[in-house]
């Protein structure tokens, strides 16, 4: 198994809740894990890991599963309502394209 990224507890909880939501969506559609995995082009083990919030699963696999369940457009909402960024922009604070070099 790959080395899992070190996530803060809050982030671990978020990915676990997302996995549970994916599982509930699959069950509401009365799809078996095998059916969803096959349609998404992934193994049942990978789907199991997604539904249990394992952080080593590639984002592309999550996207495939969300697409099969009809939720792919939900990801377009990520960072769409960037209130802090817009306030900074409106305040005229110059945003660099890259972070400054550490000295």
- Tens of pLDDT, residue by residue over 65-102, are 999 999 999 988 888 888 888 887 788 766 667 777 78
Q: Taking 60 as the threshold, does the pLDDT of residue 1 lie above it?
A: no
In the predicted structure, residue 38 carries a pLDDT above the cut 80: yes
**Given pLDDT bands bounded at 50, 70 and 90, which one contains residue 7?**
confident
The answer to pTM > 0.85 is no
**Residue of 61 and 88 predicted with greater confidence:** 61
Domains and CATH numbers, the chain: 9-85 (1.10.260.40)
Burial class of residue 71 (count of CB atoms within 10 Å of its CB; 0-12, 13-18, 19+): middle
Is it the case that residue 8 has pLDDT exceeding 70? yes
* The two structure tokens encoding residue 6: 């070190």
The 10 Å CB-count burial string (b at 16+, else e) for 82-91 is: eeeeeeeeee
């Amino acid at each position: 198994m790959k080395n899992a990224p070190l996530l803060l507890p809050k982030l671990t909880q978020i990915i676990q809740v997302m996995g549970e939501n994916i599982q509930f969506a699959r069950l509401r559609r009365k799809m078996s894990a095998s059916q969803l995995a096959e349609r998404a082009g992934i193994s049942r083990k990978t789907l199991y890991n997604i539904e249990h919030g394992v952080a080593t699963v590639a984002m592309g696999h999550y996207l495939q599963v969300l697409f099969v369940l009809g939720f792919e457009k939900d990801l377009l909402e990520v960072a769409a309502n960037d209130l802090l960024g817009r306030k900074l922009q409106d305040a005229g604070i110059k945003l660099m394209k890259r972070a400054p070099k550490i000295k």
